[in-house]
């Protein structure tokens, strides 16, 4: 499989499809046509070389691979959101600095330096 086969638009479409397990409802939620959603899901499954859903009577159900892909897609979205939030915070001057030390080190060695840093920097100390 070519890693570029995991197109973000296909993954986003798959995530919505997996929530609805219905092409028409997913298409409506995405403001796409039902055939467009079906084509994206089919191409994604073809690129991955695995079925992502099965039909059980009139209902659709994710395969084990579909469940795994959905988990991956959700995790990737969460990582992307955290990554974007980091840059948003930097652009607003809201970086944070985490520091761990014992109480004695803070009181006797770091206290004055940290207070001075806090006055000069926009970074939030944790």
Asked if 61 and 107 sit in the same domain, the reply is no
Domain count, the chain: 2
Q: Among 111, 80, 117, 79, which residue's Cα sits nearest to residue 97?
A: 117
Q: Look at 39 and 97; give whichever has higher pLDDT.
A: 39
What residue numbers bound the domain in which 102 lies? Answer: 96-125
* Dihedral-angle region of residue 14 (phi above 0 means left; psi in -120 to 50 means alpha; beta otherwise): alpha
With a CB cutoff of 8 Å and minimum separation 6, the contacts of 20 are 26, 29
Would you say residue 45 has pLDDT above 90?
yes
Asked if 54 and 84 sit in the same domain, the reply is yes
Asked if 115 and 76 sit in the same domain, the reply is no
Mean pLDDT of the 15-33 span: 97
Q: Tell me, what CATH number does 49's domain have?
A: 1.10.10.10
Q: Which two tokens stand for residue 53?
A: 């859903």
Would you say residue 35 has pLDDT above 90?
yes
Asked if 26 and 52 sit in the same domain, the reply is yes
With a CB cutoff of 8 Å and minimum separation 6, the contacts of 13 are 26, 30, 32, 37, 40, 41, 44
Would you say residue 118 has pLDDT above 90?
no
């Amino acid at each position: 499989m070519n890693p570029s086969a995991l197109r973000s638009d296909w993954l986003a479409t798959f995530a919505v499809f997996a929530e609805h397990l219905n092409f028409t409802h997913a298409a409506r939620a995405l403001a796409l046509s039902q055939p467009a959603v079906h084509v994206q899901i089919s191409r994604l499954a073809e690129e991955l070389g695995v079925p992502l859903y099965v039909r059980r009577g009139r209902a659709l159900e994710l395969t084990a691979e579909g469940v795994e892909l959905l988990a991956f897609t959700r995790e990737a979205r969460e990582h992307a959101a955290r990554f974007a939030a980091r840059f948003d915070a930097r652009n607003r001057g809201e970086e944070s600095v985490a520091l761990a030390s014992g109480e004695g080190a803070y009181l006797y060695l770091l206290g004055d330096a940290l207070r001075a840093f806090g006055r000069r920097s926009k970074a939030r100390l944790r």
